């Protein structure tokens, strides 16, 4: 009995409509999650780029290069300037036009310093170059490299690279993914429940038409049996009128039926009676 009941449920139109709602809702959530994740990743990356651009402008103000020798010019007694310069030098590389390293931070050296060919390519382009590098622990760093000219009269070009860690961005993206994936089963269940309710409401008129048709069909069979058993007795016209009245009552029992299905049932019943 339980197997037959479950089989009837899974074969029912309401179940199939609900399954359709569930598939659609799952695909919708997946698409929304991918779009939002892409937008969030791009937004966080742009924030890091903006911060690096600001640090690049600050670096050009503090770094002085004269006679091929770099020097950081800032007020050592100012805590703000000390903090800014210390932050700039955490991820920092300075080379001459041939790629010879003049200054380099330990963190940048651990990522791998730029080769002379890479240095010359950046100096030729004279445009900011962006790249992502990872350390041995898998932490990514966004690096901006470009040209800085010396402060003395020759204005020789020098290669400079600074960067920032993307660990915070990676952490935010990881937490978002975990939260979204964790909430997806709840949202899918809610979508299925909503689909079940909507499908039930949508199928109510159809169910009422089917029930009315079943009642009419049963009354037609009853009338046919009675008419066959008592074909010689009583008034046939009166019997048909009584049956047609019962048909109209069956239709009126479904007040929410649309007009056209009800008229179809009545018309078919009238044809059967008048045969």
pLDDT tens by residue, 101-140: 999 999 999 888 899 999 999 999 888 999 999 888 888 9
Q: Does 267 lie in the same domain as 238?
A: yes
The answer to whether position 83 is within a domain reads yes
Q: Does 219 lie in the same domain as 139?
A: no
Q: Note the pLDDT of residue 135.
A: 85
* Element holding 80 (H helix, E strand): helix 79-88
Asked if 64 and 70 count as a contact pair (C-beta separation under 8 A), the reply is: yes
Domain final residue pick, 165, 186, 216? 165
The answer to whether position 160 is within a domain reads yes
Paired with 93 in beta bridges are 104, 161
Asked if 102 and 89 count as a contact pair (C-beta separation under 8 A), the reply is: no
The answer to whether position 5 is within a domain reads no
CA distance 73 to 257: 87
Q: Does 114 lie in the same domain as 77?
A: yes
| Domain enclosing residue 99, as ranges | 15-165
- Cα angle 216, 217, 221 (rounded to 5 degrees) comes to 115
Say how many domains are in the chain. Answer: 2
**Model pLDDT for residues 160-191, shown as the tens digit of each residue:** 999 999 999 989 999 999 998 888 888 888 77
The CATH number that applies at residue 67 is 3.30.450.20
**Model pLDDT for residues 29-49, shown as the tens digit of each residue:** 889 989 999 999 999 999 999
Number of Cβ within 10 Å of residue 84's Cβ equals 17
User: Which tokens go with 42?
Assistant: 């791009």
Non-local CB neighbours of 103 within 8 Å, separated by 6+ positions = 70, 92, 93, 94
Q: Does 184 lie in the same domain as 53?
A: no
Burial 167-197 (b: 16+ CB within 10 A, else e): eebeeeeeebeeebeeeeeeeeeebbeebbe
Q: Does 125 lie in the same domain as 192?
A: no
Q: Does 188 lie in the same domain as 63?
A: no
Which has more pLDDT, 210 or 174? 174
The answer to whether position 103 is within a domain reads yes
The answer to whether position 9 is within a domain reads no
The answer to whether position 20 is within a domain reads yes
CA distance 262 to 241: 19
Asked if 235 and 50 count as a contact pair (C-beta separation under 8 A), the reply is: no
Q: How confident is the model at residue 26 (pLDDT cuts 50, 70, 90)?
A: confident
Q: Does 22 lie in the same domain as 153?
A: yes
Paired with 147 in beta bridges are 159
CA distance 112 to 108: 7
Which has more pLDDT, 259 or 18? 18
Domain final residue pick, 165, 197, 214? 165
Q: Does 181 lie in the same domain as 161?
A: no
Q: Does 122 lie in the same domain as 27?
A: yes
Count of all residues that appear for the chain in the document? 275
Q: Does 150 lie in the same domain as 36?
A: yes
Computed on alpha carbons and rounded to an integer, the radius of gyration of the chain in Å comes to 40
Q: How confident is the model at residue 91 (pLDDT cuts 50, 70, 90)?
A: very high
The answer to whether position 82 is within a domain reads yes
The answer to whether position 195 is within a domain reads yes
Domain final residue pick, 131, 165, 199? 165
Q: How confident is the model at residue 6 (pLDDT cuts 50, 70, 90)?
A: low
Q: Does 144 lie in the same domain as 186?
A: no
Q: Does 86 lie in the same domain as 34?
A: yes
């Amino acid at each position: 009995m339980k197997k037959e009941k479950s089989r009837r449920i899974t074969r029912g139109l309401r179940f199939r409509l609900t399954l359709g709602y569930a598939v659609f809702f799952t695909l919708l959530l997946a698409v929304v999650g991918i779009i939002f994740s892409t937008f969030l990743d791009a937004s966080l990356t742009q924030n890091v780029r903006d911060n690096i651009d600001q640090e690049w402008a600050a670096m050009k103000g503090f770094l002085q290069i004269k006679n091929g020798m770099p020097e950081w010019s800032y007020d050592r007694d100012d805590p703000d300037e000390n903090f800014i310069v210390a932050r700039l030098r955490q991820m920092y590389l300075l080379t001459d036009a041939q790629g010879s390293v003049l200054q380099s931070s330990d963190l940048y050296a651990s990522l791998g310093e730029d080769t002379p060919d890479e240095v010359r390519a950046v100096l030729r382009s004279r445009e900011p170059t962006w790249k992502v590098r990872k350390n041995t622990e898998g932490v990514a760093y966004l690096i901006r490299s470009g040209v800085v000219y010396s402060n003395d009269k020759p204005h020789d070009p020098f290669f400079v690279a600074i960067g920032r860690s993307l660990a915070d961005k990676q952490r935010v993206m990881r937490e978002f993914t975990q939260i979204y994936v964790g909430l997806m089963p709840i949202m899918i269940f809610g979508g299925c429940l909503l689909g079940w309710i909507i499908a039930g409401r949508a199928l109510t008129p159809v169910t009422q038409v089917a029930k009315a048709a079943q009642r009419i069909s049963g009354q037609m069979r009853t009338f046919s049996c009675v008419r066959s058993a008592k074909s010689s007795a009583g008034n046939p016209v009166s019997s048909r009128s009584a049956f047609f009245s019962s048909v109209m009552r069956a239709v009126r029992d479904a007040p929410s039926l649309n007009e056209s299905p009800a008229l179809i049932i009545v018309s078919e019943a009238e044809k059967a009676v008048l045969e």
